[in-house]
Amino acid sequence: MTEPTPIPQELVTFPHAMLREIYEQPQALAATIERYVPGGISTAEMFQPVLDALGGRERLVIAASGSSRHAGLAGEIMLEDLAGISVDVEYASEYSYRSTHTLHNPGVVVISQSGETADTLTALREAQARGLATVAISNNARSSMATEASASMPTFAGVENAIPATKSFTTQLAVLYSLALHLARVRGRMTLQAAEAHGRQLQEIPSLLQAALPEWQRQIEALTPQLASSRTLLYLGRGAHYAIAREGALKLKESAYLNAEGYPSGELKHGPNALVSKDSPLIMIATADSGDPDSLLRYSKVLQLMKDMRTQGARIIALATEGDQEVPQCSDSCLFIPASNDLLSTILEVVPFQLLAYSLAISRGIDVDRPRNLVKAVIEE
């Protein structure tokens, strides 16, 4: 893996922790990926405790809150598509009320940046009380979740000071992808050659991200004045990209105090379309993996929706894969995402949304590192 070159701190002064942490993501991802997939090959040493805990289970339940739940939604698709494991994603605060979560003896994966989130910790303890195996994904290897779970998969994002999650979120995606990749291999769903190819693609993500960041920031800063007075913004994505639409909307709410919602693209015409107007733009994820028929099918549906919305008079900001010539013609503004496989594109796609939330917050005079009414770790239910 080509290691991203760290930005010398003496050369760059970031005005806010959130922006610094957005730019730290290539290094945070590289550190995390190197622990789980060094040289493009998943290591038995890192995954054996997880395999021992989960055994041959065919079903998993992911319990998490906020951004971590959105990572879980993307992880659901990763685990199902790659490893062939059935996954349900639950709000951690609702887990205790769902008696059917014990059916078929599932493994329970809890995700939390701090490892101390009260609702998620309660879900972990409830799962253990039910006799279920548990796995904790957190950014603190010494947290309550990490030490109490049957097995722990830490992220290596480093300290995250800003309340809006950035590098903790993308490293959670990297860990979930690594887990899906390893389970696919041990379950016989993927050949060693294919697993190594996926591992190499994962290792490319940090350098792709680092190269794209400056241009994304330039484009976002140009877009910001046009979006600052928006009444609401609707983020749309299909498949794993729906999780990124949800995360983009949450980032905007918590950082810039602007109303935003994330929907599956196919749900727009089932109600939310009534909100669409020139001052309520659409943020559409329209990336595609040219080697994946399912990805191309999703892309064709998103492209048709974009054309329909343009005819309706909607304003559209789109994310497209580098080299795409159709999406720019169907959108008012287009940001390009480096080409990767369909699932790994999620790690790249969320970063322009982080930058947009940051830029809009600053334009509105908001303390983006400490948004009102929010704390970094919700340790009370």
Question: What SS3 string covers 110-124?
Answer: EEECCCCCHHHHHHH
What architecture (CATH level 2) is domain 17-203?
3-Layer(aba) Sandwich (3.40)
Per the document, the length of the chain is: 381
pLDDT for 11: 44
pLDDT for 48: 93
Say yes or no: do domains 17-203 and 208-363 share a fold.
Answer: yes
CA–CA separation, 305 vs 141, rounded Å?
44
Strands 282-286 and 316-321: parallel
pLDDT for 380: 60
Confidence class for position 55, pLDDT limits 50, 70, 90: confident
- Work out the average pLDDT over 70-89: 98
Has residue 352 got a pLDDT over 80? Answer: yes
Confidence class for position 4, pLDDT limits 50, 70, 90: low
Predicted structure pTM score: 0.95
Share of the chain above pLDDT 90, in %: 88
CA–CA separation, 200 vs 245, rounded Å?
26
Residue whose C-alpha is closest to residue 236's, from 249, 227, 223: 249
Has residue 8 got a pLDDT over 60? Answer: no
Has residue 1 got a pLDDT over 80? Answer: no
pLDDT for 6: 59
Has residue 266 got a pLDDT over 90? Answer: yes
- Work out the average pLDDT over 344-368: 98
CA–CA separation, 168 vs 280, rounded Å?
29
pLDDT for 3: 58
CA–CA separation, 257 vs 224, rounded Å?
14
Give yes or no for a contact between 247 and 262, defined as CB atoms under 8 angstroms apart: yes
Please give the angle made by the CA atoms of 276, 277 and 279, to the nearest 5 degrees. 115
Domain positions in the chain: 17-203, 208-363
Give yes or no for a contact between 26 and 209, defined as CB atoms under 8 angstroms apart: yes
Has residue 10 got a pLDDT over 50? Answer: no
What b-and-e string marks burial along 44-58, b requiring 16 or more CB atoms within 10 Å of the CB?
Answer: eebbeebeebbeebe
Has residue 12 got a pLDDT over 70? Answer: no
- Work out the average pLDDT over 17-37: 97
| DSSP run (H or E) holding 207 | helix 192-227
Confidence class for position 322, pLDDT limits 50, 70, 90: very high
Has residue 103 got a pLDDT over 80? Answer: no
Residue 57 per-residue DSSP state:
-
As a whole number, the mean pLDDT across the chain is 94
State the distance between the two ends of the chain, measured CA to CA, in whole angstroms.
42
Give the least confident one: 54-58, 133-137, 221-225: 54-58
Confidence class for position 9, pLDDT limits 50, 70, 90: low
Has residue 99 got a pLDDT over 80? Answer: no
Selected residue with higher pLDDT from 6 and 229: 229
Superfamily of 208-363 according to CATH: Glucose-6-phosphate isomerase like protein; domain 1 (3.40.50.10490)
Give yes or no for a contact between 266 and 238, defined as CB atoms under 8 angstroms apart: yes
